[in-house]
Structure 1
Amino acid sequence: MNNGSSDNTALSAAGPEHTTSAGPATAAAPYPGEGGASTDSVPAAPTAAATLSSRAALPASASDDALANPRYARFVTDLLGVMAYGELSGFERLSSDARFSPSLADRASLGRLAVQEFEHFELVGAFLADLGVTVEDAMSPFQASIDAFHERTRPGDWYESLMKAYVIDAFSGDFYRSLADTLDPRTRNLIGTIDSGEGAAHLQRRLKEALADDPRLASRLALWGRRLVGEALTQAQRVGIEREYLAGLLFADEADHTQHTTALFSQLTRNHSRRMSALGLTA
């Protein structure tokens, strides 16, 4: 997407800058930016919404005519605004990073993923246009926050760029799928169309190859992955609460907001741990 983001100055035009990725991880307090999905080699995990529904009642999926409700339409517009900017940022980031690939095959692969991100951006933009909203207006409230996220998580080299794409795309895919369970059919189908999982599968395979070729990468990428998911969790909570789409779409009772949010982000963290384990890394 997808993750996926992303999504914007994800990376500067000069490509990855050296940063100290081994710095302290941001606290994983309950970002979506880039679309993504888990891969077949990772054990199937329940969606966060399914986990939540076993603990407390969730609202039923919205009906076909839900978008006629102004309040619901505003929540969906915010959610799609985050997605659109995430996909646009993902296109920019992957396009930039492709130039620093260690091989022509890697460059071509990242280029294909970048094209997919832009195609997803256009799909979301067309959907918003049908709602009478320009994609620029929908993205605007999230630009500064997502740009800041990418500034805080600048990769130090190509391998960290690959890990960032994998972690954030997959995290975003989990996040959007969790919300999709309570959306109207049209919006849910849009998210399903974007959430193909092809990009995440390729990124996982390439990371496994890199780790097999150079086992010394393992500790560095494991630490980088922990930092990324901590930043992503913090970003997701901040943006979701500021714009209220978490409460508006996922939770039937605002009094249960804290409980549901905690369960949602706990599940996202567990999904991340499974993906790191599939790479042979400690989350």
Structure 2
Amino acid sequence: MGISPDAAASAGQLSAELLGAMAYGELSAFGRLSLDSRYAPTLHDRSVFAKIAVGAYGNFALLNDRLSEMGVDPEQAMLPFQRSFDHFHERTKPGDWFESVMKAYVIDTVSSDFYRAVSMFLDPTTRHFVERVASPDQATEVLRVLIRRALADDPRLASRLALWGRRLVGEALTQAQRVGMEHPLLGPLLKGGGDARAAVRSLTTELADKHGRRMTGLGLTA
């Protein structure tokens, strides 16, 4: 049996919405990381953030091209997410270099978990593309090393960064819930129907658990 036109249209819309969210996320990450590099205590650290920012822009370019190949206007795909993403970053402005590094790490890992989870409902080609773009990479490990180095240099940072990390992940999960409810196709309810709110809550619980394990690995309390 073939896929119905309605199902194919829904799958295509889901792909466009997810890639649009990812594209704006990477574009905003590029600007945020470039701006936050001003907090860097050394030129080396500043260059590290600059390299990560360039990587974010590279991901944006890949997503932009993919949307165009699908016949979707990249700007139109990103626009529905601009306001909520920008508000999130306004609410979570870092106060110094250490908070900038923690924010970059938390947002990088939590958003990657979210995008990979939703990609399970896409066609195999798009799913593999999302997994490739959203998979943890060298930048994730670099950020982890920066946090560990900071904690080793000044153990007193642990309590402050743990508190900041909890605030960030709380805001990030609220953002994920909001995106899932405002754009229902991005909620994991395609698994066979069911209550959208319950599905989104289940996903955010899973994201929180993964975040907690990462924080424990850093010696921080999630």
TM-score for both structures, normalised by structure 2: 0.92
* One-letter amino acid of the structure 1 residue matched with residue 192 of structure 2: D
SS in 1 for 2:191: coil
Higher relative CO (CA 8 A, sep ≥ 6), structure 1 or 2?
A: 1
Aligned to 2:75: 136
| 3-state secondary structure, aligned to 1:121 | helix
Please say if residues 64 and 184 of structure 1, whose CA atoms lie closer than 8 Å, have aligned partners that are also in contact.
no
Give CA-to-partner distance per residue, 1:221-251, whole Å, 9 cap, x none.
100000001001111111111111234x543
Q: Which residue of 1 aligns with 2:199?
A: 260
Matched, 1:205 2:145: yes
Kept in 2: contact 1:67–1:73 (CA 8 A) = no
**Aligned equivalents of 1:258 and 1:97: distance in 2?**
35
For residue 169 of structure 1, the aligned residue among 87, 90, 108 is 108
- Unpaired stretches in structure 1, ≥5 consecutive residues: 1-62
Q: Is the 8 A contact 2:121 2:190 kept in 1?
A: no
Q: Scaled by the length of structure 1, what TM-score is found?
A: 0.73
Q: 1:96 to 1:208 in 2, by over 3 A?
A: same
Say if 2:27 and 2:60, in contact at 8 Å, map to a contact too.
yes
Alignment-mate amino acid for residue 88 of structure 2: F
Q: Does 2:169 correspond to 1:229?
A: yes
- Which position in structure 2 is the counterpart of 1:11? none
1:273 has 2:212 as partner: yes
Quick one: structure 1 residues 81 and 93, their matched pair in 2 at CA, closer, same or farther if it must change by over 3 Å? same
1:245 pairs with 2:185:
yes
Identity score, percent: 50
CA distance in 1 between partners of 2:89 and 2:4 (Å): 36
- Mapping 1:3-42, distance limit 5 Å: none
Distance 1:65 1:136, change over 3 A: farther
Q: Which amino acid aligns with 2:93?
A: R
| SS of equivalent residue, structure 1 residue 70 | helix
Question: Matches of 1:64 and 1:275 in 2, distance apart?
Answer: 40
In the alignment, is the contact (CA less than 8 A) between 1:66 and 1:73 conserved in 2? no
Contact 2:116 2:130 survives alignment (8 Å): yes
- Per-residue deviation, 1:269: 0.5
Specify whether residues 147 and 67 from structure 1 end up closer, same or farther in structure 2 by C-alpha distance, changes over 3 A only.
farther
Contact persistence 2:109–2:136 (CA under 8 A): no
Q: Matched residues in 2 for 1:220 and 1:246: separation?
A: 33
Give distance in 2, aligned partners of 1:255 and 1:263: 12
Letter in 2 for 1:149: F
The alignment status of 1:125 with 2:41, answered yes or no, reads no
Change (3 A) 1:66 1:177: farther
Choose from 45, 69, 75 the match for 2:14: 75
Distance 1:65 1:119, change over 3 A: farther
Q: Which runs of 5+ in 2 are unaligned?
A: none
Q: Which has the higher helix share?
A: 2
What SS is found at the alignment partner of 2:39?
coil
> Once the two structures are superposed, what CA deviation does each residue of 1:29-81 show, in whole Å capped at 9, x if it has no partner?
xxxxxxxxxxxxxxxxxxxxxxxxxxxxxxxxxx9999992222111111111
